[in-house]
């Protein structure tokens, strides 16, 4: 079954700006799909339409055959992890608490959440014993981005969206994280939908 289908999707904002125009594509399970283009070309708008942070003006988006516009919005978003350029970790919550947000909303048992947090920190190359109880301000930019990826994966979503996740990092950290994300996708077999600016 096709994982994501865009059919003639357009988005025009109220002030008249047309961010996306009749966009059509399909993404199959396990694909690493990348949108590349200059700043302002509609990449972020496209990603936000997938999890309905922005509603399309016309056309349809189907997730695993279901029209996204008709899906329960909470269930839709719980099954789509989202990594932002700005990372947006909660500053007064520990690394563990940040990763646990969606599993707690889904009412997982605390023992399951604790196990999942440790699994994900290991997965993104951060030792749980060292990082679990740290605050975001105690981490480097690259480490914060790794925690952002772990948080997006916490509830085992079908799809992981990444919106220019490396643009604020220095070139050496960016190159390493890009390689890490490629290896991560091969390990977890998730659909990664990545936007990059040129």
Per-residue pLDDT of the chain (198 residues; tens, 9 = 90+): 788 999 999 999 998 899 999 999 999 887 888 888 888 899 999 999 999 999 999 999 999 999 999 999 988 988 898 887 666 799 999 999 999 998 998 899 999 999 999 999 988 889 999 999 999 999 988 888 889 888 988 888 888 888 877 666 667 666 776 677 777 777 766 666 677 665
Residue 181 · residue 192 · CB < 8 Å: yes
Residue that has been written with the tokens 């865009």 in this structure: 6
How many distinct structural domains can be found in the chain? 1
Residue that has been written with the tokens 């719980």 in this structure: 78
* Cβ-count burial 4-24 (b if 16+ within 10 Å, e if not): bbbeebbbeeeeeeebbeebe
pTM, full prediction: 0.80
Domain that holds residue 61: 4-197
Which whole-number Å values give the CA distances from 106 to 111, 133, 179, in the listed order? 14, 22, 31
Output the six-digit token pair for 188. 């977890």
Q: Residue 114: which of 89, 97, 94, 102 has the closest Cα?
A: 97
Given CA atoms 52, 98, 189, 38 in this order, what sign does their dihedral have?
A: positive
Give the span between the Cα atoms of 23 and 60, in whole angstroms: 10
CATH number, domain containing residue 192: 3.40.50.300
Give the span between the Cα atoms of 87 and 114, in whole angstroms: 22
φ, ψ dihedrals at 40, nearest 5°: 90, 10
Output the six-digit token pair for 40. 């302002």
Instruction: Give me the pLDDT at residue 23, please.
Output: 96
Output the six-digit token pair for 109. 């048992």
- Calculate Rg over the CA atoms of the chain: 17
């Amino acid at each position: 079954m096709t994982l994501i289908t865009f059919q003639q999707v357009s988005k025009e904002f109220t002030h008249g700006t047309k961010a996306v125009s009749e966009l059509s594509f399909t993404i199959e399970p396990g694909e690493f799909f990348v949108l590349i283009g200059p700043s302002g070309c509609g990449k972020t708008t496209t990603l936000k339409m997938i999890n309905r942070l922005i509603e399309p003006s016309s056309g349809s988006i189907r997730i695993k055959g279901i029209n996204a516009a008709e899906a329960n919005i909470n269930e839709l978003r719980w099954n789509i992890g989202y990594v932002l350029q700005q990372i947006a970790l909660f500053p007064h919550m520990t690394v563990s608490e940040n990763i646990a947000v969606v599993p707690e909303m889904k009412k997982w048992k605390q023992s399951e959440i604790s196990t999942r947090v440790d699994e994900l920190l290991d997965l993104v190359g951060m030792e749980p014993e060292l990082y679990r109880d740290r605050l975001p301000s105690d981490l480097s930019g690259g480490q914060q981005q790794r925690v952002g990826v772990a948080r997006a994966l916490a509830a085992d979503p079908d799809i992981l969206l990444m919106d220019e996740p490396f643009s604020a990092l220095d070139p050496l950290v960016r190159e390493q994280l890009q390689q890490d994300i490629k290896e991560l996708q091969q390990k977890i077999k998730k659909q990664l939908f990545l936007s990059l600016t040129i």
